Amino acid sequence: MKKEDIPQDPSSLANFSKEVYYATDNAGNYVTGLSTGWEVKANALDVAWKDIEQRVAAAKQKVLDKQASPLLYFMELHLMDAGILSAYTGFWQWQIKRHLKPSVFRRLSDKKLSKYAAAFNTGIDEIKTMMH
């Protein structure tokens, strides 16, 4: 690809990042050039973010319907699974899966909730109020 052919399609990440592409200059030498985006990639990212937004909304509804604890909502919101959350909190994955049950979550101590709050970069009260 020639340097002047590097895609410059606007994307949702255009204001936050640019990508480096390798291209050839007029002399045929490889050079680097910055791209603000590529339409195909931007469309794929938009689809992925819509999927994430749907998962977050579904998790919130499960919490409101008392089918899951607020941990599910915060895990989806922060793109975490039990393995990642385990690494941040020190809880075993089986403990996290157990804490996803509303009845178990209600009995968690503030000490345990503070580990979750730190992992989600939020306060204990915000995690608790998801129960309402």
Distance CA 105, CA 92 (A): 15
- Closest by CA position to 35, among listed 27, 47, 26, 23: 23
pLDDT digits 0-9 by tens, 16-33: 677 787 888 888 888 888
What is the token pair recorded at 113? 């909730």
Q: How far is CA 21 from CA 11, 12, 84, 99, in A?
A: 16, 18, 31, 45
What ranges in the chain are assigned the alpha helix state H?
39-64, 70-77, 82-89, 93-99, 102-105, 110-120, 124-129
pTM of the model: 0.75
Distance CA 125, CA 22 (A): 49
pLDDT digits 0-9 by tens, 98-122: 999 999 999 999 999 999 999 999 9
* Extents of the domains making up the chain: 3-37, 52-129
The alpha carbon of 111 is separated from its chain's Cα centroid by a whole number of angstroms, namely: 25
What count of residues does the chain have?
A: 132
| Phi–psi pair at 77, nearest 5 degrees | -60, -35
pLDDT digits 0-9 by tens, 80-99: 999 999 999 999 999 999 99
What is the token pair recorded at 11? 């994307």
Q: Options 1.10.260, 1.10.1760, 1.20.1510, 1.10.3470; which CATH number does 52-129 get?
A: 1.10.260
